[in-house]
Structures are given as C-alpha cells and as structure tokens.
Amino acid sequence: MELHSLNHYAYKHNYLVNFSMTLSALIFNFSKAQNRKLSGGITCRGLRIQEVSMAGKAKELIITGDVNITLKVLELTTSGAPKLNMMMKYTEQNIANKLKGETMDYGLVLSDYDTKANKFNKNIPAIYNVRYKINYLVRLEQVKTLSQLSNNDFVLAIVDRIGLKTDKYATGGLTAHGDVPATVTYNEWCKYPNIATHEFFHTLGLPDLSGKSNSNNLMFEIASKTNNLVSNKELANMNAYLMEDVVSISEGNYSNQSFNTVKKLRNFLNNPTNGFKYNKAKFR
Amino acid sequence: MDLNTIKLSLGNLLMILFFTAGCINKTKVNDHTDTNSAITDTCKLSFNKGYEIGSNISCRSCHAQSEQRNALNLPTMRELSRMDSLKLSNFLFITKHKKNLDFFKDSPISMLRLKRIDSLSECDRKNLVHFIKEYSRTHKYILKIPNDTTIK
C-alpha cells in the first residue's frame, strides 16, 4: 500500500484511535526515513480542478478533493487532563461536521488556469468564480513537547486559567484574529465542549458574534452548551482561508507556509497581559 | 439735574447688564450647540463591524489574508494594515482602486464591490479602516463564560 493511501486510510477510519495512532507513528517514521515532510496545519496531495465556461457568464472553477487539517494539542495543565482524549475526539468530529458543505466564492483574483496543461499560469492574473467541493479530513493530535510542533502547525494550548477579561465574565478561551495559537482552559472545555472548535475557528479567521439573534451560533461571544451553529457565510469565509493558496495547492503535495507557530505560542503564553496560568514544566 | 444724571447712569447700568446677560446666554447657547454636535458625531469603532463590512465587500477576493501576494501583485491585508490610517482612508477607497479598473471591467461583481467601497458612509469607512489596521495588531477574542460557572 502506498504511503498516501495509508495516510488516507488512517484519516477515514479515525474512530479506531489506537490503531490510527500506531499507524500515524508508522507513517511518520516511514516518511522520516524517506525525508518526506508531512507536518502542517493544511496538507493535501493534489486537487482536481475543472474549468466551466458558459457564454455570457463569468468563468468558473470547480475544485474537488481531500484536504487534511491537523490541529496539534498541547496540554499544559497543572493537575492533568483525564478527559483529554474524549474532548479531543469530540472536537475533531465537531470541526469536521462544521466544515462540511459546498461553498462558492465570486470574483476571486487568481492566476489564469490552463485547462490543457491542467495548471495555473502564475504570471497571468485572472478572475474566477470558484466552487469549493472539499472534503476536509480533520485530525487532532496531542503533542507532549515543543519539538513536536512545526512552525506551520495549527496549535491548541490547554491551560489552567486565562486572566485577561474585559468585564464581569471569566474567560474560557483566548485567540488572536486569524492567528495561531488558540487557547482554552481545561475546566471550561469540559463544561462547554464546543469552545475548542470556537477558538480554532478564530484561527481560521472568524470573528466573535454578539446580540441575541446570534446566541445559537458557535461564534457567539459567550460560551454555552447548545450554541453550535455555523452560517453558510462563515463556512464560505473559512473555505476561503483554508483554500487561499489554491494555486500552490493544485500543484501536488502541499503543506501550508510557516505560521511561526512555536515563537507565537511562546510569546502568547508568556505575555503578562493575557494572564495565562499553566504548568510551565510541561512547556519545554 | 442730579436726578437726570442718576436716571442716565441707571439706564446705562441696565443696558450694560442687559448686554452682558445677552452675551452670557449666547455663550451658553453656543456651548450647548457644541455639546450637541459632539454627542451626535459619535461613530463607535468596532473590529467586528469592520470585519462585517470587509466581508460584504469581500476585500479578501483581491487582497490575500496570508503573506503571499496574488498574481495581480496587489498588497496583502497585512501590508495594507501597516499603512498609515489617514493614507488608507484618503487613498485606499478611491485613487488606488481606480488603477485596476481596466482589469476588473469585465467582472461585474468586482466593479460592484469597488462602487460599494466608494458609497460607504463615513462611519462604515472608519470601521473598515479600523478593521484593516487591527490586522497587524493581532486583535484578541475573549470567550466569556456565563456567570453561574465563573471561576473564583
């Protein structure tokens, strides 16, 4: 079985936690021996692109294929996280469910697509309507040390407490707009299982929502056990973030560019204004 | 004679008092007007509002969110955010966009977006500039926890 088939198999059968973890380790070692890079928040191996032209209408590209999203979880609590695996599994499924669905992006500035050569000509700009039919294969992976984090990884840090607040409410999660890392407090994550998905979606560029009409939305600014809706517009915005580098993605094996993850995580957690309380012995 | 002098003095005094009172009242009216204009000229800057405006215009269709420029070589969102606010508000909406009209003329949706930018209200414009500027300031989102479970 080829390496990418093994990888694909592992993602498709991710409910077999132990098996897939063993398989991941096997794939990792195999790739290491072959010097093949697998790390990165967004990775994929070749998307299918089809150009559709209709008289009097704007040119349309239909993009289909599998894209892997890996979110690395760094547990930094003082008294341990006994429910961590369960919470990770729930969040993995929740993120995958919320990213399901077809979206359309109108009037996108890309490079000209050569249908005969089946590739983009990077030097010639062109405007397309783009239809995304992407199957996102989401995976949460626990890491124990900073050395297991690459600079192009997404990361979710699990901490004891976040001191930063603007009003009477305590804080359960903190993330900067469109940036890594995302953070949640362990106790609040256990009480409100959707908050890790909420924080990760800030990484994918979604803002907080306020107002009573948005109280059922996942991105509502106050945590709840029931708010878990994602609008089509939000899905379209996340698709646009994940597929922004579609010209490079279409060329074959793809890993996203550096987010400078390790440095950003270090700065974010050690910024005194954020007021993080976490087990510093685990941050190594 | 003395009585006339007293009458004139009193009259002058009354006139002075009348004008002084008039001026004080006028000053008060002016102050009141200034306060009113200060109150009505409030445009609350909000990152989320700016995001909403930017999302409706779809800035990201032309200006990449990542560091990589697109084929048209337009500045990325982060590059825009490093520009001076005044420069952004003065030139971004009109002059700079007009440079690309030839390229966009066959794309009705792009033309519509450009028109939409120019028709933004002053407050919406300020919010959009605020949103763009926050791109390089790493705007933080704080997830609030309901009071009943607040950690003490």
- Whether residue B107 and residue A221 make contact (CB cut-off 8 A), yes or no, is no
- In Å, what is the CA distance from A269 to each residue of A28, A265, B9? 28, 6, 79
End-to-end CA distance of chain B: 87
Name which of B70, B141, B151 is nearest A110 (Cβ-Cβ): B70
- Residue A240 forms part of a structural domain: yes
Tokens found for residue A106: 């109108």
The answer to whether A104 and A128 are in contact (CB under 8 A) is no
Give every residue of chain B whose pLDDT is below 70, as ranges.
Answer: 1-41, 148-152
pLDDT value, residue A1: 39
Residue B21, pLDDT score: 53
Residue B151, phi then psi, degrees to nearest 5: -75, 135
What is the number of CB-based contacts under 8 A between chain A and chain B?
Answer: 138
Would you state the torsion angle of the CA atoms of residues A236, A239, A245, A247, taken in this order, to the nearest 10 degrees?
A: -80
Residue of A nearest to B151 (CA): A170
pLDDT at A182: 98
Q: Does pTM top 0.90 for this prediction? A: no
pLDDT values of chain A reduced to their tens digit, one per residue, 284 residues: 344 443 443 444 443 334 444 444 444 445 544 545 557 999 998 789 999 988 777 899 999 999 999 999 999 999 999 999 999 999 999 999 999 999 999 999 999 999 998 889 988 999 999 999 999 999 999 999 999 999 999 999 999 999 999 899 999 999 999 899 999 999 999 999 999 999 999 999 999 999 999 999 999 999 999 999 999 999 999 999 999 988 888 888 889 989 999 999 999 999 999 999 999 999 99
| Helical residues (DSSP H) of B41-146, grouped into ranges | 47-57, 77-81, 85-87, 95-98, 101-104, 108-118, 122-134
Question: Which backbone phi and psi does A280 adopt, to 5 degrees?
Answer: -65, -25
Distance from CA of B95 to the nearest CA of A (A): 20
In a domain, A259, yes or no: yes
| Residue A48 resides in a domain | yes
- Which pLDDT does position A19 carry in this prediction? 42
Q: Encode pLDDT of B75-86 as tens digits.
A: 999 899 999 988
- Domain contains A119: yes
What was the pLDDT predicted at A139? 97
Q: Mutate one of A42, A57, A109, A255 to test the B interface: name it (highest B CB count within 10 A).
A: A109
Among A114, A164, A177, most B C-beta atoms within 10 A, so best to mutate, is A177
Q: Dihedrals φ, ψ of A35, to 5°? A: 55, 35
A98 interfaces chain B, CB cutoff of 8 Å: no
Q: What's the CA gap between A15 and A83, in Å, rounded?
A: 16
Q: How many domains does chain A have?
A: 1
Q: Is B84 exposed, middle or buried (0-12, 13-18, 19+ CB in 10 A)?
A: exposed
Distance CA A175, CA A179 (A): 7
Find the CB nearest B71 among A110, A170, A205. Answer: A110
Give the phi and the psi of residue A51 in degrees, each rounded to 5.
-95, 130
In CATH, what number is assigned to the domain containing residue A80?
Answer: 3.40.390.10
Contact criterion met (CB < 8 Å) for A122 and B107: no
Beta carbons of B144 and A221 less than 8 Å apart: yes
The residue of chain A with its CA nearest to that of B72 is: A125
Whether A109 is covered by a domain: the verdict is: yes
CA B125 to chain A, closest CA, distance in angstroms equals 19
CB contact under 8 A, B145 and A188: yes
Nearest to B71 among A125, A175, A222 (CB): A125
Minimum Cα–Cα distance from A233: chain B residue:
B55
Range of the domain at A214: 23-282
Residue the block writes with tokens 């510093």: A280
Cβ pair A223:B61 closer than 8 A: no
Residues of A in contact with B60 (CB under 8 A): 240, 244
The nearest CA of chain A is from the CA of B111 a distance in Å of: 10
Which among A166, A170, A178 has the least Cβ separation from residue B145?
A: A170
Give the ipTM. Answer: 0.83
Residue A7 is assigned to a structural domain of this protein:
no
Q: Give the separation between CA A215 and CA A226, rounded to whole angstroms.
A: 9
Residue A12 pLDDT = 42
Residue A8 covered by a domain: no
Answer yes or no: is A9 within a domain: no
Q: Which of residues 150-189 of A touch B (CB under 8 A)?
A: 161, 164-179, 184-185, 187-188
User: Residue B97: left (phi > 0), alpha (psi -120 to 50), or beta?
Assistant: alpha
Cα of A256 to nearest chain B Cα, Å: 10
